């Protein structure tokens, strides 16, 4: 009986190790977005550029594209901006939404630094952002040919994020029918 | 070139570790003095080669040798030199190398200065140590080689995670690792004793300084980590029950238990097999602390790269070291002579109770940390265990332990009398009750828990001081002499226990009275908060060595002279990430903590916190570590001197 007591630590260890072994297989960092696989909620946003027609859900679909939420007051947007300009030169379809920002300021921002967007809409109240689950800018969504959300990236798009995640995904979506 | 030298040094260290494990174990078995001497030489040489390997890696980081893949990923020319050096261990491979370096240094010290140890015991300890070292060298070389080259070499490296670019973090990992790895020596002693089938007071006298030498840096490391989280993460909290924090807390709790039980074993020869088990468990938890966070089993803000393959290797190491040693324990420990008897009310009894509480505390933390893993395995639910769990389980167990802390040192060994104990303790008891009553009078009955916390803090501080006071009062005729002859271990005990009291004071203060406010501020706005008024006087972009920051400056009035406080949000371009530098005004009564958040059209988001007494949490932690260090410097614990002075030591302790 006394001997069994001394064996107890070994028994506990075996149980714990079995737990850890199976625990290795899970990926706890996975935080799925509610929107993945769903159609982008309908919106129709007023223009940011003067004499422009704004940005609406009808502009989506046909080709895979990116929607980038930005704001003139957002510092991390400054960091990703040069890369967005390069993407535009490469012909990536990139739309912008100026989030919780006065459209004049949002326009001034792209006018001064360069305008990487095909269509830009102003979401001054942040309503369109809420539907997409945006809580801070910058955020970037990958939209497929059917206008469904396929990926959400929170924070600045870096060279690494583009090369390892977004570009391969865009190429895959382009190949889809 | 340096990378190749480092690589070869590491391979040689692996071979030497194998020699260090086989030669002395076989030598001790056969009674062959030459083989045992070979083991000692191998241990010293192994330490030298690992040091060389570490030096090579550090050299690659400091000189920005981006042809070394690891340096290219974590070092950057724009980074200040101290941080380039710190980046050496700011990543998975480098931190593993640091871990192995400390392990090898422990082995080297043991081989070089363990001369007074029984030769076979020393040889067996070194042999086990060599086995440990060999398995970690294998882990480094086969799964996480730090010396891989890049071809072609990039012109510029990526950067150390900006959160880690902080003076506190330069010191935090080495100190914490010194604690984790230090417990490996106690582990090796335990396994060696099980092989020998012999645990005696001489064994305990050797183990205790090593346990203390590991406990001090672990305490220091946890305290530093908590302070760093407080001022760097920008959340204003000091403990988050994050898996990595828990992983360092578990070996600390068990190590504290071991510290006390080895005292009983040394002085009274009791709690023998329990102490051996604690040696094994403490190091096993240290292993989990270092490794499980990087295996992908748990997530945390601190986690390094997640790699299931490494996880399997780590699990293998844990299964082998812990598993084999526990099997050995199950086989050999029942045969080890159990120790002297004692009455429930005695110092041994008190320490046994302390051990029970500490082990239970460790179990609650273990369950809280790992139950999500097990629950998901059973029914696929993702759950998250947060502070409410610990408030319900950890705190109710910790409070009675804190009450007991004062009793231990004033109890007599072997047996004691309840009435005599009451007489000894009336002073701190009265003081604690006075504090409690005063606190209730000021706060009313709703603040009863707060009042209890303050009373507990007073009880701990006064009760710890009592140990010294009683000794000096007894020798008051020759006060100078009795102060001078007080053993340092007694000062250490007083400091460590009083530090715990300060910790309780800080926790009580910040839990009961902290307040916070979040608001948007524009330039020139003024806000009233916690008896002060803050004005946003400036908000501008400033440039650092490798970052650009948006800095907000505040003028604070009220509670003394007006002063300036600034907080900034830093953007690290090459690492593509940002950190928050909080503005903190520290004072003994409470901290004012300001942190700027995102900018919005309505101004900048400002978070304000008032943290009464919070500084005492870290003062308490540092005092505990200082107490341990003072105790370690005691003559009786110093290696070698111990054997001859032992009987005298027992005398002084019993006489008090």
Question: Model confidence over B512-539: pLDDT tens digits?
Answer: 888 878 788 888 899 998 888 999 998 8
Q: Which residues of B touch A (CB under 8 A)?
A: 273, 277, 280-281, 292, 295-299, 306, 308, 311-312, 315, 318-319, 322-323, 326-327, 329-330, 333-334, 370, 373-374, 376-377, 550, 569, 571, 573, 576, 578, 598-601
pLDDT at A131 > cutoff 80: no
- Among B307-321, B350-364, B510-524, B565-579, name the most confident range: B350-364
Element (H or E) spanning B542, and its range?
Answer: strand B532-543
In what side-by-side order are the strands of the sheet with A139-143?
A120-123, A94-99, A65-70, A139-143, A149-154
Q: CA-to-CA distance for B48 and B12, rounded, in angstroms? A: 10
What structural domains and CATH numbers belong to chain A? 29-175 (3.40.30.10)
The predicted model scores a pTM of: 0.79
Instruction: Determine which of A12, A20, A30 to mutate to test the interface with B (most B C-beta atoms within 10 Å).
Output: A20
**Average pLDDT rounded to a whole number, residues B140-168:** 80
SS3 B380: coil
Residue B382 confidence class, pLDDT cut points 50, 70, 90: low
pLDDT at B605 > cutoff 50: yes
Tokens at B566, concatenated? 């600034």
SS3 B612: strand
Question: Model confidence over B262-291: pLDDT tens digits?
Answer: 988 888 888 888 999 999 999 999 988 776
SS3 B135: helix
- Whether a cis peptide bond, with omega within 30° of 0, leads into B152 is yes
Closest CA to B628 of B489, B503, B507: B489
Residue B635 confidence class, pLDDT cut points 50, 70, 90: low
**Average pLDDT rounded to a whole number, residues B385-389:** 72
Bridge pairing between strands B603-612 and B515-521: antiparallel
What pLDDT shows up at residue A30?
42
Contact (CB<8Å) A23/B578:
no
Closest CA to B618 of B223, B219, B171, B221: B223
Nearest chain B Cα distance for residue A157, angstroms: 9
Tokens at B246, concatenated? 């828990």
Bridge pairing between strands B532-543 and B548-557: antiparallel
What pLDDT shows up at residue B191?
95
Mean pLDDT of chain B: 85
* Residues whose CB falls within 8 Å of the CB of residue B286, separated by 6 or more in sequence, listed in order: B179, B180, B181, B183, B184, B251
Tokens at A8, concatenated? 């107890």
Q: CA-to-CA distance for B20 and B47, rounded, in angstroms? A: 11
What pLDDT shows up at residue B649?
36
**Average pLDDT rounded to a whole number, residues B139-167:** 80
Are B521 and B603 in contact by the 8 Å Cβ rule? The answer is yes
Contact (CB<8Å) B296/A10:
no
According to DSSP, residue A158 is labeled P
Q: CA-to-CA distance for B483 and B468, rounded, in angstroms? A: 9
SS3 B340: coil
What pLDDT shows up at residue B553?
92
Helix residue ranges per DSSP H, B411-487: 418-443, 448-474, 479-484
Closest CA to B585 of B545, B558, B623: B558
What pLDDT shows up at residue A152?
83
Residue A100 confidence class, pLDDT cut points 50, 70, 90: confident
Question: Model confidence over B237-269: pLDDT tens digits?
Answer: 788 787 778 889 999 999 999 999 998 888 888
Nearest chain B Cα distance for residue A2, angstroms: 8
Q: CA-to-CA distance for B412 and B646, rounded, in angstroms? A: 18
Question: Model confidence over B302-346: pLDDT tens digits?
Answer: 444 456 677 778 788 888 999 999 999 999 888 887 767 888 888
DSSP A57-97: GGG--SS-EEEEEE-TT-HHHHHHHHHHHHHHHTT--EEEE
**Average pLDDT rounded to a whole number, residues A49-65:** 87
Cross-strand partners of B606: B519, B596
Longest dimension (CA), chain A: 88
Residue B637 confidence class, pLDDT cut points 50, 70, 90: low
SS3 B617: helix
Higher-confidence residue of B310 and B186: namely: B186
Q: CA-to-CA distance for A17 and B120, rounded, in angstroms? A: 33
Question: Model confidence over B397-444: pLDDT tens digits?
Answer: 999 999 999 988 888 888 888 888 888 888 889 999 999 888 888 877
What pLDDT shows up at residue B609?
86
Closest CA to A140 of A89, A64, A58: A64
What pLDDT shows up at residue B307?
62
Q: CA-to-CA distance for B369 and B364, rounded, in angstroms? A: 9
Higher-confidence residue of A155 and B390: namely: B390
Percent of chain A exceeding pLDDT 70 equals 89
Cross-strand partners of B416: none
According to DSSP, residue A47 is labeled B
Q: Is B610 exposed, middle or buried (0-12, 13-18, 19+ CB in 10 A)?
A: buried
SS3 B608: strand
Residue B650 confidence class, pLDDT cut points 50, 70, 90: very low
**Residues of B with Cβ-Cβ distance to A73 under 8 angstroms:** 599-601
Contact (CB<8Å) B322/A13:
yes
Give Cα B153 to chain centroid, integer Å: 38
What pLDDT shows up at residue B20?
94
Dihedral, CA of residue B433, residue B438, residue B444 and residue B447, to nearest 10:
-60
Question: Model confidence over B228-238: pLDDT tens digits?
Answer: 888 776 666 78
Residue B295 confidence class, pLDDT cut points 50, 70, 90: low
Question: Model confidence over B15-40: pLDDT tens digits?
Answer: 999 999 999 999 999 988 899 999 99
pLDDT at B596 > cutoff 80: yes
What pLDDT shows up at residue A29?
39
Q: CA-to-CA distance for B316 and B214, rounded, in angstroms? A: 24
């Amino acid at each position: 009986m006394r001997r069994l007591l001394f064996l107890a630590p070994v028994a506990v260890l075996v149980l714990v190790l079995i737990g850890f072994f199976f625990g290795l297989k899970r990926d706890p960092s996975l935080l799925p977005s509610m929107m993945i696989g769903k159609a982008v909620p309908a919106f129709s946003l007023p223009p940011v550029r003067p004499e422009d027609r704004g940005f609406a859900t009808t502009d989506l679909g046909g080709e895979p594209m990116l929607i980038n939420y930005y704001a003139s007051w957002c510092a991390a947007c400054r960091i990703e901006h040069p890369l967005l300009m390069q993407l535009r030169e490469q012909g990536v379809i990139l739309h912008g939404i100026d989030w919780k920002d006065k459209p004049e300021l949002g326009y001034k921002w792209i006018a001064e630094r360069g305008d990487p967007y095909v269509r830009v809409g102003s979401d001054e109240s942040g309503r369109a952002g809420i539907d997409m689950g945006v809580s801070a800018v910058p955020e970037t969504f990958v939209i497929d040919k059917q206008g469904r959300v396929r990926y959400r990236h929170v924070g600045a798009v870096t060279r690494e994020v583009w090369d390892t995640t977004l570009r391969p995904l865009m190429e895959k979506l382009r190949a889809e029918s | 070139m340096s990378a190749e030298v480092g690589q070869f040094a590491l391979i040689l260290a692996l071979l030497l570790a194998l020699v260090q494990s086989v030669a002395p174990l076989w030598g001790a078995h056969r009674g062959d003095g030459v083989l045992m001497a070979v083991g000692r030489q191998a241990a010293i040489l192994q330490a030298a080669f690992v040091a060389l390997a570490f030096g090579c890696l550090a050299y690659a980081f400091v000189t920005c040798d981006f042809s070394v893949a690891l340096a290219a990923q974590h070092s950057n020319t724009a980074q200040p030199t101290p941080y380039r050096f710190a980046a050496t261990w700011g990543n998975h491979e480098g931190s593993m190398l640091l871990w192995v370096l400390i392990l090898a240094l422990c082995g080297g010290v043991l081989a070089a200065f363990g001369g007074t140890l029984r030769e076979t015991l020393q040889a067996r300890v070194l042999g086990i140590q060599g086995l440990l070292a060999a398995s970690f060298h294998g882990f480094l070389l086969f799964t996480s080689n730090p010396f891989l080259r890049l071809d072609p070499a990039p012109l510029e490296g990526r950067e150390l995670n900006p959160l880690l670019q902080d003076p506190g973090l330069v010191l935090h990992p080495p100190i914490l690792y010194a604690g984790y790895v230090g417990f490996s020596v106690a582990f090796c002693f335990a396994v060696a004793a099980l092989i020998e089938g012999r645990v005696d007071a001489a064994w305990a006298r050797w183990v205790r300084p090593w346990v203390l030498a590991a406990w001090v840096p672990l305490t220091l490391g946890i305290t530093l980590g908590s302070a760093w989280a407080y001022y760097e993460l920008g959340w204003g909290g000091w403990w988050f029950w994050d898996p990595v924090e828990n992983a360092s807390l578990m070996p600390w709790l068990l190590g504290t238990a071991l510290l006390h039980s080895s005292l009983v074993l040394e002085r009274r020869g009791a709690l023998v097999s329990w102490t051996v088990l604690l040696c094994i468990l403490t190091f096993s938890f240290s292993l989990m602390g270092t490794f499980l966070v990087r295996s992908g089993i748990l997530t945390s803000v601190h986690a390094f790269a997640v790699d299931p393959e490494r996880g399997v290797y780590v699990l293998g190491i844990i299964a082998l070291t812990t598993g084999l040693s526990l099997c050995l324990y199950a086989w050999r420990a029942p045969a080890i002579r159990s120790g002297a008897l004692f009455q429930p009310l005695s110092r041994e009894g008190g320490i046994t109770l302390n051990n029970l509480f500490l082990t239970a505390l460790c179990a609650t933390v273990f369950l809280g940390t790992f139950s999500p893993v097990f629950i998901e395995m059973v029914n696929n639910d993702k759950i998250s265990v947060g502070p409410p769990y610990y408030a319900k389980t950890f705190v109710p167990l910790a409070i009675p332990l804190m009450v007991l802390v004062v009793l231990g040192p004033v109890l007599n060994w072997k047996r004691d009398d309840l009435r005599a104990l009451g007489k000894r303790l009336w002073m701190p008891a009265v003081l604690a009750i006075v504090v409690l009553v005063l606190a209730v009078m000021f706060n009313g009955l709703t603040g009863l828990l707060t009042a209890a916390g303050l009373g507990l803090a007073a009880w701990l501080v006064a009760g710890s001081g009592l140990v010294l006071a009683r000794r000096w009062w007894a020798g008051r005729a020759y006060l100078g002499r009795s102060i001078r002859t007080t053993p340092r271990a007694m000062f250490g005990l007083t400091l460590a226990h009083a530090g715990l009291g300060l910790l309780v004071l800080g926790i009580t203060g910040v839990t009961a009275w902290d307040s916070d406010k979040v608001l948007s501020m524009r330039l020139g706005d003024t806000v009233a908060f916690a008896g002060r008024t803050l004005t946003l006087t400036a908000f501008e972009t400033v440039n650092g060595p490798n970052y650009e920051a948006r800095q907000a400056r505040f003028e604070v009035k009220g509670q003394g002279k007006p002063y300036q406080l600034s907080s900034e949000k830093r953007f690290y371009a090459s690492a593509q990430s940002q950190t928050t530098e909080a503005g903190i005004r520290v004072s003994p009564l409470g901290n004012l903590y300001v942190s700027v958040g995102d900018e919005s059209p309505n101004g900048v988001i400002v978070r304000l916190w008032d943290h009464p007494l919070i500084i005492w949490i870290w003062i308490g932690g540092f005092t505990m570590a200082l107490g341990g260090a003072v105790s370690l410097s005691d003559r009786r614990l110093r290696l070698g001197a111990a054997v001859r002075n032992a009987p005298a030591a027992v005398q002084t302790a019993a006489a008090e």
